[in-house]
Amino acid sequence: MKKITQILFAMAVLLCSAVASSQSTITGTIIDGEMNAPLPGANIVEKGTTNGASTSFEGTFSLQTSATSGEIVVSYVGYSTITLKFNGDQDLGQIKLMPDNTLDEIVIVGSGVIDLAEDRKTPVAVSTIRSKEIQEKAGNWDLPEVLKSTPSIQNVKGGAFGDGTMFVRGFDQTNTAFLLNGQPINGMEDGKMYWSNWSGVMDVANAIQVQRGLGASKLAISSVGGTVNIVTKTIDKKEGGYLQQMLGNDYYTKTTAYYSTGVSEKGWSFASLLGYWQGDGYVNDTDGQGQTYFFSVGYTPNDHHSFNFLLTGAPQWHAVAGSGDIQSFLDNGREYNSWSFDGVDSPNTLSSGKYPGGRNIYHKPVANLSWDWTINDQSSLSSVLYGSLGRGSFAQSIGSVDYARGSNNNHDWYGLVTNYNNQITENLNFNVGADVRLYTGFHFRDVREFITLDSVTANSGYSGGQDYQLTEAGGINPWKVFFNPNTDHLQRFGYDYSEQINYGGVFGQLEYAKNGFSAFFQGALSTQSHVRTEFLNTSTPGEGEEGGKINNLGYNVKGGLAYELSQAHRVFFNTGFYSRQPFHDTLYQNDRTGNALLQPEAENEEITGFEVGYQFNGGRAISANVNGYHTTWDNVTKYRNNGENGDDYISYQTMGVKQVHYGVELEVMTRPLDNLRLNGFLSLGEWQFKDNATQRTFDNDGNQIGVDEEIVIDGYSVGGAAQVTGGINGSYDICNNFSVDAAWNWYNDMFSVGALDEAPLSMPSYNTMDAGLSYKVMVGSNESLQFRFNLNNVFDEVYLESVSGNTAASANPDENYKGINTSNNGRFGYGRTWNFSVRFNF
């Protein structure tokens, strides 16, 4: 018995020794590949198991494994994931992870038509917001809010969901080009952007790149102030997804679910996202509701071809807010909703709720089909075929809440962007492409909802003068508006017309790079046609009458040089000239009354830009960018109206307007400690009108009132955005997977907007502070929970975000607010707001 016990003991020792000998210890240090600094909190997982570890503040890790060989997966949010092999006990040394703000981690479909600055060696003034920052800071905001901590960019929120406006170097959104995976998305008629139509873009964005000034875009687009490239999710490299729940101030809630299959062995990939949000809004009676959907199907049959189909949309409705006189806000608070209409009870009511000003309803699905063809090692072809069907209305209660009148703005938009790229030699690259857009806009008024009536009598419009009955209601839900558009012209009133805008352009670029020197030249030529069809003021009800066709030719040329003085120093110079066709809305005297053209016709705008820059890369400690710019926007036709007051609809068209914008931008990125990042920026601008202009006034019927008159605008400051901005932002890792961040922004040298022929008002400066907390905990080998809390305007700063008016300060100080006469219209910025989210990643 004693021998048996000894044998069993010996066997147990041998077995334990065998098990022990099969264990391995893997060590190493994870560092930021750009900054050469440790990455605390990085995740290391033995592939195929739940066995994992995290790095210390010094970036070091030690992982025990029972396998003698295998692979580990190293990941960190915002950085590319890598897989490494190990064999027994092994010190892997320094392991570099590259930040994904270079877009390396993103599979970009249609890459040849997405004009990213990093695809060109000659630099431009650019800022890239990576997916990690979008995910953390977007919260319940639109895209402009995420970009506000970059040089020369300001966001004016506007008062309701999706009503904000972004300025780049003092130019509004009509002069900033927005591209979604290479597809232009500015309005074809007026260049405007309505963020309520794109409320889901933050959910599907993988990266956002802002190119200030001339930018890198090859297309003949509205990039006077800059270009914003939105790169969405398409194909993910690996399977995964997330579930997220967000809560915010004023009963805001948002639920989002995303899943991607990754790429299968046969080259197929599928991804989808569904989201739902609703909230009461910060401003009184500005509640809203919407959904987001996104579907992507990819197929890569071989190394030469890649296809992707994408469909995304964000149907929504939201009540609107007005910008009444400043005194009303002082009397009622920042949440005051100033919308009111003569003859309408306030607040008036749609059947579904209380909306003092009305309800904005829109659904604008976008679909595109991308094809990337790698022809050989030197050449490739990339094409994107896209389509968009926009259906929407502004529903406003009329009379004693009798019915809701709809002001409808619908469109059908189809296009193709294609680009051929050829690496001619090791140092010379050439690409050429085409951009085609076919657009039809439909504008009319109808009944959206009957409230106390069953029908409405329309008593104006057709030349016969007969009354007719409106008996159909188009609805106030974005899904119903989309699937049941009002196509019966006899159910429309007030105005009813369509616009056909066809655009065709070609573009090309040649770039040379050798021994630290690079140079590029771009050119684009385009033609644009316009036809307006009137349906209301015609001899035969419902039959359209076309106006004369207008054709405009436009072009642009751009070039640049760059030289790398050393690995740490680089300088560049860019210049360009645009001859840009006028927008459709500036070609007609009054686009609600008929096909009459403005005589003489509006001419092409002329934009000339110069830019110089210096880039410093000091490695881990510090890097910096300095840019100087000078942009002249000349021969501009501006349109504005005084709105409707009964039958009185007065509009103004000012021709020959010239603006000059110039300034300097400084951006500094530092990492003073391993767990501290600290960045800052300062933008100094001077934006003024130059020379005088000619103004015309039109009545409700589109007839000119009086004669052309010269208006004095020379030397007036351009209003709308702060000409001097600055900010400091940073993040601090308190411990592994737990961090705090904050951003302080300062706005100065601001001016009001209003009548061009009156001097703008100098507005008071202001500053705001935002802060956030992030915490992540691993709950499996690849699963994690992320918690995020954002607090915006931490100190509840009270500030005027916009002023519309030119009334000078009163001699009575009680009638002024910080030097601004309180009779001027304006809007105060939001007070303290917050949002909190929980996200499960799998």
Query: How remote is the C-alpha of 677 from its chain's centroid?
Result: 25
In contact, 26 and 65? CB cutoff 8 Å: yes
Question: What is the spatial distance between Cα 654 and Cα 658, in angstroms, rounded to a whole number?
Answer: 11
In contact, 412 and 380? CB cutoff 8 Å: no
Facing residues of 241 across strands?
A: 259
Helix (H) or strand (E) holding 643: strand 622-645
Question: What is the spatial distance between Cα 840 and Cα 241, in angstroms, rounded to a whole number?
Answer: 8
pLDDT of 69: 86
Question: What is the spatial distance between Cα 673 and Cα 37, in angstroms, rounded to a whole number?
Answer: 9
CATH domain 240-781+801-841 topology: Maltoporin; Chain A (2.40.170)
Encode pLDDT of 527-554 as tens digits.
999 999 988 877 776 788 888 788 999 9
Query: How remote is the C-alpha of 722 from its chain's centroid?
Result: 20
Provide the b/e sequence for 259-272 (b: ≥16 CB within 10 Å).
Answer: bbbebeeeeebbbb
pLDDT above 70 for 113: no
Facing residues of 791 across strands?
A: 771, 834
pLDDT above 80 for 431: yes
The reported pTM is: 0.84
Query: How remote is the C-alpha of 506 from its chain's centroid?
Result: 25
Going by C-beta distance under 8 Å and a sequence separation of 6 or more, which residues neighbour residue 8? none
DSSP labels for 256-299?
Answer: EEEEE----TTSEEEEEEEEEEEE--SSTT--EEEEEEEEEEEE
Three-state secondary-structure class, residue 490: helix
Give the closest residue to 196 by CA, choosing from 225, 230, 157, 168: 157
Encode pLDDT of 510-529 as tens digits.
999 999 899 999 999 999 99
Structure tokens at 172: 């509004």
Greater pLDDT, 128 or 823: 823
Helix (H) or strand (E) holding 9: helix 2-22
pLDDT above 90 for 428: yes
pLDDT of 251: 96
Backbone region of residue 218 per phi and psi (left: phi > 0; alpha: psi in -120 to 50; beta: other values) = alpha
pLDDT of 620: 63
Question: What is the spatial distance between Cα 598 and Cα 615, in angstroms, rounded to a whole number?
Answer: 47
Give the closest residue to 754 by CA, choosing from 723, 716, 725, 726: 716
pLDDT above 60 for 102: no
* Residue 19's pLDDT band (cuts 50, 70, 90): very low
Q: Which of 99-108, 464-473, 735-744, 786-795 has the lowest mean pLDDT?
A: 99-108
pLDDT of 158: 84
Backbone region of residue 163 per phi and psi (left: phi > 0; alpha: psi in -120 to 50; beta: other values) = alpha
C-alpha distances in Å from residue 108, one per residue of 12, 314, 380, 381, 415: 56, 22, 14, 14, 19
> How open is the CA angle 44-48-53, to the nearest 5 degrees?
20
Helices (H) and strands (E) in the chain, counts: 6, 52
Q: Which of 192-201, 394-403, 678-687 has the lowest mean pLDDT?
A: 394-403
In contact, 171 and 809? CB cutoff 8 Å: no
Half-sphere exposure of 753 (CA within 13 A, CB side): 14
Half-sphere exposure of 21 (CA within 13 A, CB side): 6
Q: Does 2-98 carry CATH code 2.60.40.10?
A: yes
For range 105-131, the mean pLDDT: 69
pLDDT above 90 for 619: no
In contact, 578 and 562? CB cutoff 8 Å: no
Share of the chain above pLDDT 70, in %: 87
Q: What is the mean pLDDT of the chain?
A: 85
- Considering Cα of 90, then 91, then 93, then 99, what sign does the dihedral take? positive
* Residue 344's pLDDT band (cuts 50, 70, 90): very low
In contact, 661 and 685? CB cutoff 8 Å: yes
Query: If DSSP states are collapsed to H, E and C, what string results for 741-753?
Result: EEEEEEEECEECE
Three-state secondary-structure class, residue 194: coil
Structure tokens at 16: 């334990």
If one counts every other C-beta atom within 10 angstroms of the C-beta of residue 280, the result is: 15
* Residue 592's pLDDT band (cuts 50, 70, 90): low
pLDDT above 50 for 60: yes
For range 610-634, the mean pLDDT: 90
For range 111-140, the mean pLDDT: 76
Structure tokens at 573: 């110079």
pLDDT above 90 for 808: yes
Place of tokens 């320094």: 94
pLDDT above 70 for 463: no
* Residue 834's pLDDT band (cuts 50, 70, 90): very high
Q: Where are the domains of the chain?
A: 2-98, 102-232, 240-781+801-841
- Which amino acid, 603? E
Across 80-89, 270-279, 321-330, the highest mean pLDDT is recorded for 270-279
pLDDT of 739: 93
* Residue 617's pLDDT band (cuts 50, 70, 90): confident
* Residue 48's pLDDT band (cuts 50, 70, 90): confident
pLDDT of 646: 41
Structure tokens at 678: 């600290």
Question: What is the spatial distance between Cα 256 and Cα 245, in angstroms, rounded to a whole number?
Answer: 7
* Residue 378's pLDDT band (cuts 50, 70, 90): very high
pLDDT above 50 for 18: no
pLDDT of 169: 95
Does residue 764 have a cis peptide bond before it, meaning omega lies within 30 degrees of 0?
Answer: no
Going by C-beta distance under 8 Å and a sequence separation of 6 or more, which residues neighbour residue 515? none
pLDDT above 50 for 348: no
Give the closest residue to 479 by CA, choosing from 575, 332, 361, 369: 361
Encode pLDDT of 202-242 as tens digits.
888 888 888 898 776 777 676 788 888 888 877 777 788 99
For range 385-404, the mean pLDDT: 86
Going by C-beta distance under 8 Å and a sequence separation of 6 or more, which residues neighbour residue 295? 271, 272, 310, 311, 312
If one counts every other C-beta atom within 10 angstroms of the C-beta of residue 565, the result is: 12
Architecture of domain 102-232: Beta Complex (2.170)
Facing residues of 502 across strands?
A: 438, 529
pLDDT above 70 for 474: yes
pLDDT of 675: 86
